[in-house]
């Protein structure tokens, strides 16, 4: 059965994503600290950077990263995550991930601007652009996933839209043991999530806390 | 050497203490959920309730509770935690803890109202009331602790005053795996704490996350 799942990064003080983004540094300077344990894993290095040297951490963090990449049959993301806000006027923009994005599935990009034709990339990724309600896009992605999971990839605003609408079956938080003091707040309007979902917690060798809400 | 340490409860979404307090329920209805893993331990039941039956959880949570009760030579708390806000007009008020409070040390109560004479309780606890700056009260408490630790017991406002002033050597957070959605926010103005202190994380059998900042 298809599950809808999302993975987010958050600091101890509840900041996810960052607010100091610029076109030349689209993720902001805090982003590296927030995602350090995740991007330092062997699986991430292999899947995203194509680094097959075996470098990178193994252990609990790597297990979660491997799970992240497994079992997804479709992806949904916001326009900002794809880069439409940073490059609104470039009809040839194909996302941040190079010619061979790490998704390997249909990717549905939510946008309010003029529809674009789909973009077929190497490795099984096709970007589709959709302007409809999230429920409709989710129905299409679920159909495309063919029984595998639908991943709501981000950004935070998109993930929060799905969470608030009660559409997410599994929320996995990678909690970095840092106090950012600035950024986008994760938790507003999510009270009660621990009543509809079961919460599990685990600490990795890096000190990173993994919190998973499942229903 | 005397260390200044404080222990706080916090939800996943950063709420510590609660804001739904009333005179008849001074800790609020959320407080029980926030402190459940702590108050359910064998050590807490024995030290606070005098329950010597051996009931209560053991394991990681209990180890932290035992550490909480060990090594403190003096305590500092705010007027609200002692109960001066709930019972401002009762000169005979002696706190929430009965005739034999679990501190067993001098306790310095910070207050802005008229000074009260000290109250000597059973079991080594004496309540002293102080109106001076927190640095002065800390100096007096450090002297009284005789080389043992000074514990800043709470409430959250008092603990945050000491944290913001850079006076806390060890902050231990008991993070309940719940999303409260309301209460007093812990994290505001504490960014950078992970740069002055080392952060360690551990998960208990209860799913509770223990986060410790030490310098």
pLDDT tens sequence across B104-121: 999 999 998 877 899 999
Mean pLDDT confidence for A163-179: 97
Q: Can you give the pLDDT at residue A73?
A: 97
Using the Cβ of A48 and the Cβ atoms of chain B, whether some distance falls under 8 Å is answered with no
pLDDT in the model for residue B26: 67
Q: Would you state the pLDDT for residue A166?
A: 96
Q: What is the pLDDT of residues B124-167, one digit of tens each?
A: 999 999 999 999 999 999 999 999 999 999 888 999 999 999 99
A contacts of B197 (beta carbons < 8 Å): none
Between residues A31 and A143, the one the model is more confident about: A143
pLDDT at A117: 93
Higher pLDDT, B53 or A20: B53
One-character DSSP codes across B143-193: HHHTTSEEEEEE-HHHHHHHHHTT--SEEEEEEES-----SEES-TT-TTH
Residue-wise pLDDT for A52-99, tens only, equals 999 999 999 999 999 998 999 999 999 989 988 888 888 889 998 899
* Domain span holding position B126: 4-214
Which residue has better confidence, B48 or A135? A135
**Whether the complex's predicted ipTM surpasses the cut of 0.90:** no
Give first-to-last CA distance, chain B, whole Å: 13
pLDDT > 70: what percent of chain A?
99
Q: Do A14 and B187 touch (CB under 8 A)?
A: yes
Q: What is the DSSP letter of A63?
A: H
Judging contacts by C-beta atoms under 8 Å, the chain A residues touching residue B177 are 194, 199-201, 211
The pLDDT assigned to B27 comes to 67
> How many structural domains does chain B have?
1
Q: Is A199's CB within 8 Å of B178's CB?
A: yes
Is the backbone of residue B9 left (phi > 0), alpha (psi -120 to 50) or beta?
Answer: beta
Q: Please report the pLDDT score of residue A31 as a whole number.
A: 87
Q: What is the domain-level CATH number for residue A89?
A: 3.40.430.10
* d(CA A175, nearest CA chain B) in Å: 10
Instruction: Of A20-34, B32-46, B67-81, give the lowest mean pLDDT range.
Output: A20-34
Q: Regarding predicted confidence, which is higher, B20 or A214? A: A214
Q: What is the 3-state secondary structure (H, E, C) of B24-38?
A: CECCCCCHHHHHHHH
Locate A210 and state its tokens: 């993994």
| Sign of the CA dihedral running B190, B194, B198, B202 | positive
């Amino acid at each position: 059965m298809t599950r809808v799942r999302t993975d987010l990064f958050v600091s101890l003080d509840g900041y996810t994503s960052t607010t100091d983004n610029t076109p030349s540094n689209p993720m902001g300077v805090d982003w590296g600290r927030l995602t350090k344990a995740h991007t330092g894993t062997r699986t991430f290095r292999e899947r995203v950077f194509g680094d097959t040297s075996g470098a990178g951490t193994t252990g609990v963090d790597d297990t979660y990263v491997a799970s992240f990449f497994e079992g997804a049959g479709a992806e949904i993301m916001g326009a900002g995550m794809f880069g439409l806000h940073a490059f609104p006027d470039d009809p040839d923009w194909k996302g941040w991930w190079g010619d061979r994005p790490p998704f390997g599935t249909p990717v549905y990009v939510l946008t309010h601007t003029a529809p674009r034709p789909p973009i077929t990339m190497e490795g099984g990724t096709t970007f589709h652009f959709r302007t409809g309600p999230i429920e409709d896009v989710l129905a299409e992605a679920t159909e495309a996933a063919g029984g595998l999971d639908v991943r709501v990839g981000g950004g935070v605003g998109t993930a929060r839209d799905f969470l608030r609408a009660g559409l997410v079956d599994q929320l996995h938080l990678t909690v970095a043991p840092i106090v950012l003091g600035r950024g986008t707040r994760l938790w507003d309007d999510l009270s009660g999530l621990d009543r509809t979902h079961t919460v599990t917690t685990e600490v990795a060798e890096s000190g990173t806390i993994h919190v998973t809400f499942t229903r």
